[in-house]
Amino acid sequence: MPDIYAHHAKTIDGRSVSLGAWRGRVLLIVNTASKCGFTPQYAGLEALHQKYAARGFTVLGFPCNQFGAQEPGDENEIANFCKLTYDVDFPMFAKVNVNGDGADPLWQDLKKQAPGLLGSEAIKWNFTKFLVDSNGTVVDRYAPATKPEALAADIEKLLP
């Protein structure tokens, strides 16, 4: 199984980047949506990003429209919503599929490395979170209902 740094992703503004750009950082990778009951978690994700960025932590947001069509906009609309509504400064990416035959390869790997309840690999809803250590290993998976602030202690354990 390739480490997460072997993957490339398209940023929300259309550039292809290697996840190797974040090598050595602790990451929280999240599938997001703008019209979901969990959308207010953007504020908590941004707070974590701001609190720990200087210590080597980054949130990576991947919009997804697979759950209740709760991310219907294009990348420009998503970027504007995130900036204007939650002042999101962490990296955001182009929309991806996280489940099914067309699932993004990064998300296929994340699900294999950290299956959900009862070993299920499927993502159940928006705002599923994967915590990745500074070596690129997935160390935990969190349910959509888990608030970002509840992850602080787990993040701190991985930071220098």
Catalytic residues: 36
- H helices within the chain, ranges in order? 41-52, 75-86, 105-113, 152-158
Task: Match 């080597």 to its residue by tokens.
Answer: 56
Q: Find out whether 126 and 32 touch, Cβ atoms under 8 Å.
A: yes
Beta strands 26-32 and 57-63: pairing type?
parallel
Structure tokens given for 10: 């398209």
